[in-house]
């Protein structure tokens, strides 16, 4: 019984850590871990979606803080040439709505970093990022269950 319970928590922890790492500037594959656990059965799919969302959102908050710290040390306009400021320009144009797409590979991390650099309010950031990330994980899980 103890081995089964230990494996259960280890798999959920693996999902959380994978989701967290995937949402920082490091690469990750939390969708694969989520898919493995959804298809393996034995878990409440909504619990898996919530664990992945929480881990991924906390990773995004970490990236937001890195952007905030960078803004204090380095003025944006002096650090990057104009052609390298895509995420910043996107955030300035689309604002908080960009954060709904913070789950996208490569550019999503840039949105999180840029919003910290631009000093977006943390509460607004967390709300929009959580909605975007939850939606992505819920759709993936639904496609796997229904597929």
> What proportion of the chain, given as a percentage, has pLDDT over 90?
54
Distance (Å) of CA 12 to CA 9, 38, 89, 100, 131: 5, 11, 37, 25, 21
Tens of pLDDT, residues 70-84:
888 876 666 655 655
Question: Per the confidence metrics, is the pTM higher than 0.95?
Answer: no
**Range of 17's domain?**
2-146
Count how many domains the chain has: 1
Tens of pLDDT, residues 19-39:
999 988 677 789 999 999 999
User: 120-127 contacts: CB < 8 A, separation 24 or more?
Assistant: 120/64, 120/91, 120/96, 122/61, 122/64, 124/96, 125/60, 125/61, 125/64, 125/96, 125/99, 126/57, 126/61
């Amino acid at each position: 019984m103890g081995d089964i319970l230990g494996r259960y928590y280890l798999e959920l922890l693996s999902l959380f850590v994978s989701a967290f790492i995937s949402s920082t500037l490091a690469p990750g594959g939390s969708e694969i871990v989520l898919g493995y656990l959804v298809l393996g059965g034995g878990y409440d799919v909504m619990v898996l979606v919530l664990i992945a969302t929480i881990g991924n959102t906390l990773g995004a908050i970490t990236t937001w803080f890195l952007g905030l710290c960078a803004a204090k040390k380095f003025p944006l306009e002096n650090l990057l040439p104009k052609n390298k400021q895509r995420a910043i320009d996107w955030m300035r144009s689309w604002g908080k709505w960009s954060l709904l797409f913070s789950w996208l590979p490569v550019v999503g991390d840039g949105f999180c970093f840029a919003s910290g650099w631009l000093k977006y309010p943390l509460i607004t950031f967390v709300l929009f990022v959580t909605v975007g990330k939850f939606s992505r994980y819920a759709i993936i899980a639904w496609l796997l269950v229904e597929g």
